Structure 1
Amino acid sequence: MAWQAKSGVSRRTVLKAAAGLAAVGPLGSLATKVQAQGSFNWRKYAGTTLRILVNRVTPCELVGQRIPEFEAKTGIKVKAEFYPEELFRQKTVVEMTSGASDLDLFMTLIGNEGVKFYKSGWYEPIKRFVEDRTLADPAWDPGDITQGAWESQKVSDTLVSVPIEVGIHCMMSNKKLVEQAGIAPPKTLAELEAAAKKVTRKDAGIYGVALRGRRATSAGIYSNFLHNMGGEWLDKQGNPTINTPEAIAAFELYGRLIREYGSPGAVNHHFTEVNSLFMAGKVGFTIEGSVFATLYEDPEKSKVAGQVGYHMTPAGPGGNHPVVNGWGVAMYSRSTKKEAAWYFMQWASSKETLLELAVAGQGSPRASIWNHPRFRSATKAPKDWQETLLQSIKVGNPLFAPPVIPIAQVRDIIGDVIHVAIAGGNVKEAANKANDLMKKALAEAS
């Protein structure tokens, strides 16, 4: 999915932001080692066949669509299987739990499944591949990948995947509805509630907000409210803290926004339903992933193309800490073709591949791409989208879900509290119960 409406961001903004993001921290020495080598034989493993599981989310699909380029470059055959998000997660867990899979690679979102997969021994640590001069192309340049992007691909300080994009959660506004309501885009959570109230005209099918309400899937968007309210998923000892005053306030606000200013049936809404409502021009504000902007700006699918404002998430008493994460490509620990799999990972995170993803609307983990001549001349990403992403990366929080092993169970527990909040029930009581259930789940998984 490519951008449809062209708009640029100033060269000064990009240069300043890229400079701030370019520090590579602990990986700086790796860049020197890799760049020191000579020619690289991309066809060393020609004739090998790799198997990869691909999630049908935009950045992963874009990499998947370019696989024929990798096959032509390397002579390696890739069997790519594409699945919708929920089915993808189920498929990945089932295959790796069996231990008998012929899987080599899979897409991963560390903030969601990282701890579970790491503790289960499913990730192959990749530092040794990065450091092996015989396996790394000098042009790959790991030092160009930002420190934040590298950190987003670590679990327990162990590097387990290569980044293919950097994404954020941000607030989108329907400029037309905002103007009709005579308001400015909200900068705080309190202002968001007031703005949603002014936009809402339920008799006309116009709603102030659209937020995910479907059980487990709502936890990720709720995390922005939690962190901005000053709450955390866990304390320093690893105990759940979803019943603190900050967490309860976040639950209550999230539920109230949906109940008072959202559309009917919101308790069943995932990002697909949220995006459909927003693109239909029926919603004033939504908080969603930055990757969906390409859909919003597609005039063939969206009635709000060219009329969307992009903003950082509204700040709360705890500041502004929007979700910042990024999809990566990981190697299955039981793969028998690890060296060939590493070639795929290099290609997927290369400057050439990620430049094409950036032009197509994905936030790039590579600092150089933000000021690459092709990106700057070809990108049609709105100026405020670019600026919002660059600003959010600096202050964001990667924990859009608790960093725990029983992640699926815990997300359901959190989603249950959100459902109580949407229904206008006793949130404090529900949060206390959920905190106990989460504590029990963690104990059983340890």
Structure 2
Amino acid sequence: MPSSRQTFIAGVAVIAVLATGCAGAGGGSASGGGESINVLMVGNPQMEDIAELTESTFTKDTGITVNFTILPENELRDKVTQDIATQAGQYDVATIGAYEVPIWNKHGWLHELGSYADKDPGFDKADLLEPMVQSLSGADGKLYGLPFYGESSFLMYNKEVMAEKGVTMPERPTWQQVADIAAKVDGARPGMKGICLRGLPGWGELGAPLTSMVNTFGGTWFTKDWKARVDSPEFKKATKFYVDLVRKHGEAGAPQAGFTECLNAMSQGKVAMWYDATSAAGSLEDTKSSKVAGKVGYAYAPVVETKNSGWLWAWSWAMPKTTKKADAASKFMLWASGKEYEKLVGEKLGWSRVPAGKRASTYEIPEYKAASAAFGDVTLKSIEAADPTNPGVQPRPTVGIQFVAIPEFQDLGTKVTQEISAAIAGKTSVDKALANGQKLAETVAENQ
């Protein structure tokens, strides 16, 4: 993997959180007495919540201390890839996703986790949503990641602003309708922009919403027989649409805006719409941190040529083969992905903040149903409708909606999105960006 051995960027801010933690379903007894494990995870709100809750619950019940290292998404991807691919063995547990699991399992880097879940009757593996299980399983059908939360993507919009401008948002909008609405609501309030779209380079940052847009515009990174299509008319049309939309009506500082920045912009009322992960809804509905709680509407991911266009992702717990603390690590993962942890979050922090999208039973909890009334049904249906094997209008060489499931895509996607981010910044044209991207993709295709 070209980027897996890059030197980790010095100076990156790391939030090191020392926590000690809890047992719910899967927590077990205090047999871990005095042990500690190192957990590397992405700095999303749900992960910050578990860092806050672990000491008073998991550690209290098991005696297992959990040392968390929390990183922004791009830095997390570099760090976890570097640690696992080089067999450094610094971490016992790490958050990875649907892209990494099948590739890393093929290399023999991950512990199989389904057997741990099967031995814990309180975990209830059968309750996990099937798309999550499939996306986190290896070619052998075994589970190599335990989902912490699952997501698709949808459009979030400020209902008050729409009403003020006389706009009715369709339940299933097209991208052209979204662009037209963005123009109408841009400047609706002082300093408010029409929409937030990620512009921060990274295959999992800008690359995620862009690739889902490319799919529904009829494009693809590669044909089924590995012909690169980055400079195809469809890919180019989608990219120009994305770049034009964010340049005309998007957030300030778009080339540096990723998930976290767009979440902040939407929750603070600085943008009228946002297309991104369904998992963001819990934060938007949190009255403690969001100025738009109760004012947000949710529509299905915008489309052009496809019926659906939402992506599929699960931030999941994985255990590197290098760990010498598999028993303690598995106890933590089973607790963190268990039903009891979801109840703990709901009772302690608020039901909208439950790490949902992974269990069918979550959507039957009365308190969660009430808290997620605006977004829960759209989230679940979006996850269930996502089809990683057929996300566009043509056959694909691998599975994946917002990524191509090959090791080289981590580097390819990041380099191409660097070019496109530069186009958003006005430093290059989309044509030049995609011409350079095509050359990179052709090199990747030659090795398949």
Decide whether aligned partners of structure 1 residues 420 and 75 sit closer, same or farther in structure 2, where only a CA change above 3 A counts: closer
1-structure distance, mates of 2:366, 2:166: 39
The question of 1:126 aligning with 2:113 is answered: yes
The question of 1:75 aligning with 2:63 is answered: yes
Aligned to 2:124: 141
1:436 to 415, 421, 439: 439
2-structure distance, mates of 1:437, 1:117: 23
Aligned to 1:248: 236
2-structure distance, mates of 1:357, 1:407: 35
2-structure distance, mates of 1:74, 1:201: 53
Aligned to 2:157: 173
Decide whether aligned partners of structure 1 residues 357 and 393 sit closer, same or farther in structure 2, where only a CA change above 3 A counts: farther
% same residue:
25
The question of 1:214 aligning with 2:200 is answered: yes
Aligned to 1:355: 343
Give the TM-score of the pair, scaled to structure 1. 0.80
Quote how far apart the aligned CAs of 1:437 are.
0.5
The question of 1:387 aligning with 2:370 is answered: no
Aligned to 1:368: 361
SS at structure 1 position matched to 2:51: helix
Residues 359-414 of structure 1: CA deviation (Å, up to 9, x unaligned): 324324111221134544xx522x23112102211212553222221344222233
- Does the 8 Å CA contact 1:208/1:261 hold for their aligned counterparts? yes
Which one-letter code corresponds to 2:177 in the other structure?
E
Quote how far apart the aligned CAs of 1:71 are.
2.5
Quote how far apart the aligned CAs of 1:307 are.
1.5
Quote how far apart the aligned CAs of 1:200 are.
2.0
Residues 329-369 of structure 1: CA deviation (Å, up to 9, x unaligned): 10111112223322222222222113334632432411122
Decide whether aligned partners of structure 1 residues 325 and 252 sit closer, same or farther in structure 2, where only a CA change above 3 A counts: same
Q: How many pairs were matched up?
A: 399
Counterpart mapping for 1:177-216 below 5 A = 177-186=161-170, 187-201=173-187, 204-216=190-202
Which one-letter code corresponds to 1:53 in the other structure?
L
Give the TM-score of the pair, scaled to structure 2. 0.79
Quote how far apart the aligned CAs of 1:194 are.
1.2
Decide whether aligned partners of structure 1 residues 374 and 178 sit closer, same or farther in structure 2, where only a CA change above 3 A counts: closer
Aligned to 1:107: 95
Quote how far apart the aligned CAs of 1:269 are.
1.6
Which one-letter code corresponds to 1:380 in the other structure?
A
The question of 1:269 aligning with 2:272 is answered: no
Which one-letter code corresponds to 1:57 in the other structure?
N
Which one-letter code corresponds to 1:370 in the other structure?
Y
Decide whether aligned partners of structure 1 residues 234 and 118 sit closer, same or farther in structure 2, where only a CA change above 3 A counts: farther
Deviates more, 1:408-417 or 1:195-204: 195-204
Quote how far apart the aligned CAs of 1:287 are.
0.5
Decide whether aligned partners of structure 1 residues 197 and 59 sit closer, same or farther in structure 2, where only a CA change above 3 A counts: same
5+ residue gaps, structure 1: 1-38
Aligned to 2:297: 309
1:410 to 370, 395, 412: 412
Structure with the larger RCO, 1 or 2 (CA within 8 Å, 6+ apart): 1
Deviates more, 1:220-229 or 1:83-92: 83-92
1:55 to 42, 47, 50: 42
SS at structure 2 position matched to 1:354: helix
SS at structure 2 position matched to 1:401: coil
**Larger relative helix fraction:** 1
- Does the 8 Å CA contact 1:109/1:327 hold for their aligned counterparts? yes
2-structure distance, mates of 1:303, 1:348: 29
Which one-letter code corresponds to 1:151 in the other structure?
Q
Residues 69-108 of structure 1: CA deviation (Å, up to 9, x unaligned): 2223333333333333333333323333443424211111
- Does the 8 Å CA contact 1:243/1:435 hold for their aligned counterparts? yes
SS at structure 2 position matched to 1:159: coil
Decide whether aligned partners of structure 1 residues 129 and 201 sit closer, same or farther in structure 2, where only a CA change above 3 A counts: closer
Quote how far apart the aligned CAs of 1:158 are.
4.8
1-structure distance, mates of 2:58, 2:93: 14
2-structure distance, mates of 1:203, 1:297: 21
SS at structure 2 position matched to 1:208: coil
SS at structure 1 position matched to 2:155: strand
Decide whether aligned partners of structure 1 residues 229 and 384 sit closer, same or farther in structure 2, where only a CA change above 3 A counts: farther
2-structure distance, mates of 1:361, 1:340: 24
